[in-house]
């Protein structure tokens, strides 16, 4: 709305305030694509017309000028609304993609953003995609796909059905142009037989006197650990985000 008002100010100058009731009427009369109705229709169940039934053939000059001003504001506001909708559609389409239709037997890469890492594994140094994995079946109605996971992922009880948003098509390396260059290498994330060493989350912190964190381990128990134990872990990044800081040394003292 603010962008439309900015554009109309250029047309009407200092008199734009006098046109606000007509601008509001026009915007409430415009049909929204999301609902198929104008705000007037949704609120009052009918769509009023501003100049319906007015004859200008024998009208006085002041009436003609008034009606012409109404029509001018209505048309210009409708034009601004249309231009704004077009700009919004263009900007939205820049970030929109048609989706991916994988089929059975295709090779795909799996995003690692939702994979919990073990102690000592840095999210920054971890590959963004894992794979390739073979598509076992596809449900195009829900855009979900079952893929054949490697034993290390299955051992961590990771579900093998994923939405297309975390999958990417696998493109094999061109050995002619780029010899001995792998497109993606499977990373052994390990099963860690002693699950007590797998951190589930960080729940609290304290200064006593150094910085320590209350860690929830995979087996369910909690311990207080120094910063060096949890440094570079995804669990620490998530905790810092909840606390609203980026540097653990800036956590509030309590």
| % of residues, the chain, pLDDT over 70 | 78
State residue 193's pLDDT score: 41
Q: From residue 168, how far is each of 66, 99, 154, 172, 189 by CA, in Å?
A: 60, 10, 20, 12, 20
Of 123-127, 142-146, 166-170, give the lowest mean pLDDT range. 123-127
Statement: residue 75 has pLDDT above 60? yes
How high is the pLDDT of residue 197? Answer: 47
Under 8 Å between Cβ of 9 and 16: yes
What average pLDDT does range 86-101 have in this prediction? 71
Residue 128's pLDDT band, with cuts at 50, 70 and 90, is confident
The phi, psi pair for 206, rounded to 5°, reads: -155, 165
Sign of CA dihedral 244, 232, 194, 184: positive
195-250: which CATH architecture?
A: Beta Barrel (2.40)
Split at pLDDT 50, 70, 90, the class of 41 is: confident
**Mean pLDDT of all residues in 51-55:** 60
Whether pLDDT at 206 is above 50: yes
Q: What is the mean pLDDT of the chain?
A: 78
**pLDDT for res 73:** 78
What's the confidence (pLDDT) of residue 106? 94
Where are the domains positioned within the chain? 2-94, 99-191, 195-250
User: Any idea which of 96-110, 119-133, 178-192 has the lowest mean pLDDT?
Assistant: 178-192
221, 237 contact by CB (below 8 A)? no
pLDDT above 70: residue 188? no
Confidence of residue 180 (pLDDT cuts 50, 70, 90): low
What are the tokens at 237?
């990044």
In contact, 228 and 156? CB cutoff 8 Å: no
pLDDT confidence tier of residue 196, bands split at 50, 70 and 90: very low
Confidence class of residue 195 from pLDDT cuts 50, 70 and 90? very low
Report which of residues 76 and 1 the model is more confident about. 76
| C-alpha–C-alpha distance, residues 150 and 190, integer Å | 11
Rounded CA separation 89/82 (Å): 11
Q: What is the pLDDT of residue 187?
A: 62
Mean pLDDT lowest among 54-63, 70-79, 122-131: 54-63
């Amino acid at each position: 709305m603010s962008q439309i008002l900015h554009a109309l100010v250029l047309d009407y100058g200092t008199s734009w305030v006098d046109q606000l009731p007509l601008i509001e009427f026009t915007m409430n009369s415009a049909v929204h694509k999301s609902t198929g109705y104008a705000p007037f229709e949704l609120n009052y169940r009918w769509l009023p017309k501003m100049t319906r039934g007015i004859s200008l053939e024998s009208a006085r000059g002041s009436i003609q000028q008034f009606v012409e001003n109404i029509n001018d504001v209505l048309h210009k506001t409708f034009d601004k609304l249309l231009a704004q909708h077009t700009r919004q559609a263009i900007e939205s389409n820049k970030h929109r993609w048609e989706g991916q239709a994988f089929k059975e037997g295709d090779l795909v890469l799996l995003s690692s953003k939702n994979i919990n890492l073990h102690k000592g594994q840095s999210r920054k140094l971890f590959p963004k995609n894992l794979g390739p994995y073979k598509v076992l079946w596809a449900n195009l109605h829900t855009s979900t796909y079952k893929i054949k996971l490697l034993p290390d992922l299955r051992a961590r009880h990771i579900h093998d059905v994923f939405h297309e948003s975390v999958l990417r098509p696998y493109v094999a390396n061109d050995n002619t142009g780029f010899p001995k260059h792998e497109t993606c290498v499977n990373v052994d994330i390990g099963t860690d037989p002693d699950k007590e060493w797998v951190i589930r989350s960080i729940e609290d912190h304290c200064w006593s006197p150094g910085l320590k964190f209350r860690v929830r381990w995979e087996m369910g128990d909690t311990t207080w650990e120094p910063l060096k134990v949890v440094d570079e872990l995804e669990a620490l990044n998530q905790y810092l985000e909840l606390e609203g800081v980026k540097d653990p040394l800036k956590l509030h003292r309590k």
